[in-house]
Amino acid sequence: MAKWPKLDRRKFLLLVSGLGVALGAGGVATGVLVFSGGNPLLPGFRLDPDALLHVAEKYFASHPTEKSAEFLERELLAAVAPSGAGASLVDALAAAVRRDFDTRNTVVLDGWILSRTEVRVWVLQALK
Amino acid sequence: MIASAATTAGRPDQPFDVCIVGSGPAGITVARSLPKSLSVALVEAGGFDYEADSQKSYEGDTVGLPPDYLSTTRSRLFGGSSFCWGGVCRPLDAYDMERKDWLPASIAWPFGREELLPYYDRASQLLGLQSFFADGRDRRALTRDGGHSEGLVLIPFQHSDPTMRFGTEFRDELVRAENITLFLHANAMAFDSAPNGDVRALELVDKAKQRSTISARYFVLATGGIENARILLNSTNAHPAGLGNRHDQLGRYFMSHTPIWGAGQIVFADSPARDMEGRLRATKGRICLSLDDDIKRRERLLNLGLALQYGRRQRLYRGERQVARLREQLLKLGIGLNLGAGDSGNNDFVERAVAGFAKSTGQGEAALFSFFALPEAVPDPDNRVTLSNRSDDYGIRRVSVRFQTSEQEAQNLERSLALIANRLGGQALGRVRIEFNAHDPATRVADQHHMGTTRMHDDPRRGVVDRDCIVHGTRNLYVAGSSVFPSAGFVNPTFTIIALAHRIADHLARSVLHQGGASHG
């Protein structure tokens, strides 16, 4: 399986935080996030900034060992690795999100049942 | 014709062809569906209008239910509990009627769903509904842009609109019917039966506490899921444990649905959301999301419907805008108030994010639906109707009803919800938020659906009535209503009650006519 090229942290964060723009306008508001309606896989990375902070606060409270940009970056890179280097980051993350649900690798935040990968993307942005 | 129970009861030498006890949706449907050549006694404990004194006879003892449950979840008057019916209609699923071998008390219906299809269509006609089975209306896979979907289905309900109140709708017709004699304020005490199982007469007591009997060749007991058991348990002249109770099945397996209001929210991706909104408009607000039957079988899950609510999203959005405007005006005046949603002091992320989203994007198409959860009712032999030591004003022993939900049901519910959430997420269809604790018994409160106390099974050791709804050990006593349901799925029972009543009427008509035809009338 091809691996994602080594990204430096700054570049990765820029990519992740730029996903909201990449996914386009329009979408659906929920408790903690705004799902993008433009993305067929609904990874939903565009966030109300205040809500994002609440997500991070809640997640780190229950997962204190993950309060580290390095850790999150490493986990996210591992999550997207199965898609191979040829895939866009958006597609690779979307596939990781879908895989999370298929394998029940989910997190419950404020009642929402969410993919662990998508939550890690959000909280990484909060750490930024 | 309306008659007084005390003066006009059928004489033993001139019995009615059929005596129907109870004038709710089941009893009235049977009465209207029988051939006009048959003489019919239709017996109702109440009058044409609600009467508090009559309703009091429903009171009894409860365990695991609110003290007033028995008197507030049914209606004792002509038309019966159609007066507390919400009008929601939906056939049972095939899965509902199967035996679940991992559920100890589960039994299959004696026949499959296809047996009921023509009767469901007759129920649809009666209620002015479209057939559920034409043009694939029964259910539809939830898909994105028409693509393949695995495991999730949309299940539409229809509404009787306005809700049919059987007592109002059919009063004139039944009073005028030449073959029907209507007995009001006639409280059924017990059946008089012979040791060979023939039911000879119905014993009554009227408002003035005068006793009488009605003789008939056939009887139909249609007094609701609790009263059906009560009357049979009180029928002890030839069977000390009650009629049809040779194997201690009578009154057991009492089921009720336990809807969970405000159970959660689902956000749908654009395409399914648009599809959903159209369907919700078409069905006047009730459509359920569920797992498909194959998954439920494989995962050993009870049935579960998540009833989506379209209106809530709209109200939520408009409310947010109003709150935001009001807050801005107040802040201009130097007044800061916690106005709920959207306020900085409020920690409800949902409301905050919706407000924030609406303001930042100006889009009102947030596909956020609230839902309430409708778990399948589960048979349990310990949930049962028995007789209380107390009697009502007419001297008829009251009931005691026990009902409790199990931890197994809670775990099963959680697994179903997780699977639905994972299917939605895995197929990029949406996300689910759960807002209740399935393990909290206070979450799961019985509703007004009373089912399962005289359940249907061909083996008298496992049921009270046979596949034709005739009480085991008798030859001429039918039971109509949801008390015969071996299982109940998650759908409202009245539609199936009406379908089964049509089926009983057909069987009864054949029985009467094959045994010498109508006796008089």
The string of pLDDT tens digits covering residues B337-346 is 333 333 333 3
pLDDT of residue A47: 53
Q: With pLDDT > 90 as the criterion, what percentage of chain B qualifies?
A: 68
The string of pLDDT tens digits covering residues B367-379 is 677 899 999 989 9
**Chain-chain contact of B422 with A101 (C-beta, under 8 angstroms):** yes
Identify whether B162 is preceded by a cis peptide bond (ω within 30 of 0): yes
- Please indicate if any CB of chain A lies within 8 Å of the CB of B148: no
d(C-alpha B228, C-alpha B234), whole Å: 10
Residue B478, classed as helix, strand or coil, is strand
Radius of gyration of the CA atoms of chain B, in A? 25
d(C-alpha A103, C-alpha A92), whole Å: 16
Question: Residue B179: CB partners within 8 Å, gap ≥ 6?
Answer: B36, B37, B38, B39, B40, B521
Residues of A in contact with B146 (CB under 8 A): none
User: Which stretch of DSSP H or E encloses residue B402?
Assistant: strand B397-402
Question: Mutating which of A58, A100, A108, A113 best tests the B interface, going by the most B Cβ atoms within 10 A?
Answer: A113
Query: Above 60 in pLDDT, residue B190?
Result: yes
Residue B345, classed as helix, strand or coil, is coil
Structure tokens that stand for B329 in this block: 């005006």
Using CA coordinates, name the residue in chain A closest to B150: A102
**B436 to chain A, minimum CA–CA distance in Å?**
9
Residue B337 vs residue B381, higher pLDDT: B381
CA A85 to chain CA mean position, Å: 18
List, in sequence order, every residue forming a beta bridge with B288; answer none if it has no partner.
Answer: B155, B307
Q: Which of residues 412-471 of B touch A (CB under 8 A)?
A: 417-418, 421-435
Where does the pLDDT of residue B79 fall: very low under 50, low under 70, confident under 90, or very high at 90 and above?
Answer: very high
pLDDT of residue A25: 29
Where does the pLDDT of residue B470 fall: very low under 50, low under 70, confident under 90, or very high at 90 and above?
Answer: very high
pLDDT mean over B69-87? 93
Nearest CB to B353 within list A31, A100, A108: A31
Query: Above 50 in pLDDT, residue B83?
Result: yes
ipTM reported for the complex, 2 dp = 0.80
* Residue-wise DSSP of B174-205: HHH-TTEEEE-S-EEEEEEE-TTS-EEEEEEE
Q: With pLDDT > 70 as the criterion, what percentage of chain B qualifies?
A: 81
d(C-alpha B37, C-alpha B508), whole Å: 13
The string of pLDDT tens digits covering residues B251-289 is 999 999 999 998 998 877 665 666 666 666 666 657 899
d(C-alpha B461, C-alpha B472), whole Å: 9
- Residues B210-228 as b or e (16 or more Cβ within 10 Å = b): eebbbbbbbbbbbbbbbbb
User: Which stretch of DSSP H or E encloses residue B48?
Assistant: none
Give which of B218, B253, B252, B222 is closest to B474, Cα–Cα: B218
Which residue's entry shows tokens 């969970």?
Answer: B260
Where does the pLDDT of residue B425 fall: very low under 50, low under 70, confident under 90, or very high at 90 and above?
Answer: confident
- Please indicate if any CB of chain A lies within 8 Å of the CB of B175: no
pLDDT of residue B441: 85
Query: Environment class of residue B196 by beta-carbon count within 10 Å: exposed (0-12), middle (13-18) or buried (19+)?
Result: exposed
pLDDT of residue A27: 36
Per domain, the residue ranges of chain B are 1-90+163-257+380-398+452-521, 313-361
Q: What is the mean pLDDT of chain B?
A: 85
pLDDT mean over B219-236? 98
pLDDT mean over B152-173? 93
Where does the pLDDT of residue A19 fall: very low under 50, low under 70, confident under 90, or very high at 90 and above?
Answer: very low
> Hey, how many other C-beta atoms are within 10 angstroms of the C-beta on B27?
27
Question: Residue B108: CB partners within 8 Å, gap ≥ 6?
Answer: B97, B98, B99, B486
Query: Above 90 in pLDDT, residue B348?
Result: no
The string of pLDDT tens digits covering residues B292-316 is 999 999 999 999 999 987 644 433 3
pLDDT mean over B421-450? 89
Sign of the CA dihedral running B114, B491, B126, B503:
positive
Residue A43 vs residue B107, higher pLDDT: B107
pLDDT of residue B310: 60
Where does the pLDDT of residue B14 fall: very low under 50, low under 70, confident under 90, or very high at 90 and above?
Answer: confident
Using CA coordinates, name the residue in chain B closest to A50: B353
DSSP structural state of residue B223: S
pLDDT of residue A58: 87
Residue B227, classed as helix, strand or coil, is helix
CA B146 to chain CA mean position, Å: 34
Residue A22, classed as helix, strand or coil, is helix
CA B375 to chain CA mean position, Å: 13
Cβ-Cβ contacts under 8 Å between A and B: the total is 121
Which residue stretches of B56-143 are H helix? 69-72, 113-127
The string of pLDDT tens digits covering residues B132-159 is 888 767 888 887 655 556 799 988 888 8
Q: According to the CATH classification, is domain B1-90+163-257+380-398+452-521 in 3.40.228.10?
A: no
**Chain-chain contact of B352 with A51 (C-beta, under 8 angstroms):** yes
Q: Are B375 and B302 in contact (CB under 8 A)?
A: yes
Point out the least confidently predicted range of A5-19, A86-100, B97-111: A5-19
Residue B82, classed as helix, strand or coil, is helix
Per domain, the residue ranges of chain A are 9-127
What angle in degrees, to the nearest 10, is found between the helix axes of B310-332 and B270-282?
Answer: 110
Where does the pLDDT of residue A16 fall: very low under 50, low under 70, confident under 90, or very high at 90 and above?
Answer: low
The string of pLDDT tens digits covering residues B30-68 is 999 999 999 999 999 999 999 999 999 999 999 999 999
